[in-house]
Structure 1
């Protein structure tokens, strides 16, 4: 479990209250379960299901090892805790993992009964939403993160941190390899090395970049999706991975002929490339995160009004 103190309630004198009593904190708890599911809508033909959901439509379904991170918040009690950890573990086990572990999600919960008008597919987004409805009466939720795989996950935030918990932040991860040189053409080699160090060497150097793309939107009442996941992945492949992979960015990508390809500028350019096409899918590009190396990464928020919305819940989910 991790704990993160919120800035708004931080006191310069921890000894002023016994065991931190009354001071606000966000805590997280991680849980895992294994389950299978199938994407198949009875109102569509076999051909339509195949076209829409691809291999995910194949019977009898497929499985994942899910990881759930639960973020909770509140003031510390007299024992120095937001909540008793045993109670948190019991609530998550009783309401979620005991009901879902080694289950077929399409038949596990009423939300996924497609014979009901309100039934939806058990996508990552819809599953996270269903988990929220079960845990919210038990725990002071501020955020949930559900990983279906290492390259696909969803976040839900409490009201006030996001427009509504019915909206989800869906993230996909991919990668590409590329070389670059950090140098401004109007400067001398010596001046560039003063600014960029080894990165200014004339023949450049390479990285294996990790790219996270996060979109935001309402969860469709029937498909259970924020957007067409296959279409989103195809956009990222077509507009970023294919044009960037195994290139010398300064020479092979026109934008970087006149813009220094720092991690920040690459992330900004990716956000510019993806923003409008993703909007056409019905979702909104929320942010792009580009990891250049284990030690360096850049994040760009595509939604300007959201720049001030960096809630403690989301940060805790990342750390959790």
Structure 2
């Protein structure tokens, strides 16, 4: 039987998206404010996942050893650094979130039985890398507020309440939804990116946030006139809306996660 454990670490670092072989104009067109000198910084949060069997000491790996290796290989070198300059890897490909996750994997893999690196640039943007050549996953999180009612039109109010409880009340209720959109693709060997983040965020905003935000889903979104807007159905519809536009960016929609409340969320896996 396999066991997976996760170790958390933090580091603060700055970086800049700038390719010297490009003109300043091209860099600014491609990377926007991220190209400006001298760069900008983040408080990164790192989760290292390890897998193995539980040994005679009740562990898959000695925790002190895990902490020591992460400190030596990552946090001691990355913390309070300008990432572009600390190693050759970030000279070859820019220190994007997804590329940093890949480099962290490459530094830790010879020492620990890792299966996943998850790196947060900030709470609403993170990348994951699992050792699959140049393939990585990038996730962006957005928010929208909407109301809905869960009720089948062919059933009485009493019957609907038996199925949906308070959610069947006639005037509906609202949520502050959080949506995680995860895409998978290959890290570009020069830009360090799997996708233009601004393009991805624009698609999510145009296809989901703007049409859904501050609506009564049952009335304002045509799809939900005939379909009950449960968290599952909303997440499924979002995945259907995003799949092709995201494919046109050169990446694959991997997953959407819709959080309706702290107690209720739904994930749709697309790849």
In the superposition, the TM-score normalised over structure 2's length comes to 0.97
How many residue pairs end up in the alignment?
Answer: 271
Counterpart check, 1:106 vs 2:84:
yes
Match of 1:206 among 174, 186, 190: 174
On the 8 A contact 1:135/1:141 being kept in 2, the answer is yes
- 1:316 is matched with which residue? none
Query: 1:152-231, aligned counterparts within 5 Å?
Result: 152-158=125-131, 164-231=132-199
Match of 2:105 among 132, 135, 148: 132
Offset at residue 85 of structure 1 (A): 1.1
**SS in structure 1 at match of 2:180:** strand
Distance 1:137 1:200 in 2: 55
Offset at residue 44 of structure 1 (A): 2.3
Match of 1:48 among 15, 26, 33: 26
**SS in structure 2 at match of 1:222:** coil
1:123-153 deviation digits (Å, cap 9, x = unpaired): 0011111111111111111111111100011
On the 8 A contact 1:39/1:121 being kept in 2, the answer is yes
The unaligned stretches of length 5 or more in structure 1 are 1-8, 10-23, 114-118, 159-163, 304-320
Distance 1:60 1:245 in 2: 37
Moved more, 100-109 or 66-75: 66-75
Offset at residue 78 of structure 1 (A): 2.1
Distance 1:258 1:290 in 2: 20
1:202-231 deviation digits (Å, cap 9, x = unpaired): 111100001000111111111111111110
In the superposition, the TM-score normalised over structure 1's length comes to 0.83
Offset at residue 165 of structure 1 (A): 4.6
The unaligned stretches of length 5 or more in structure 2 are none
- 2:54 is matched with which residue? 76
1:102-129 deviation digits (Å, cap 9, x = unpaired): 000110111111xxxxx11100011111
RMSD across aligned positions (CA):
1.0
Distance 1:222 1:178 in 2: 41
Moved more, 46-55 or 174-183: 46-55
- 2:45 is matched with which residue? 67
- 1:92 is matched with which residue? 70
**SS in structure 2 at match of 1:225:** coil
Distance 2:172 2:26 in 1: 48
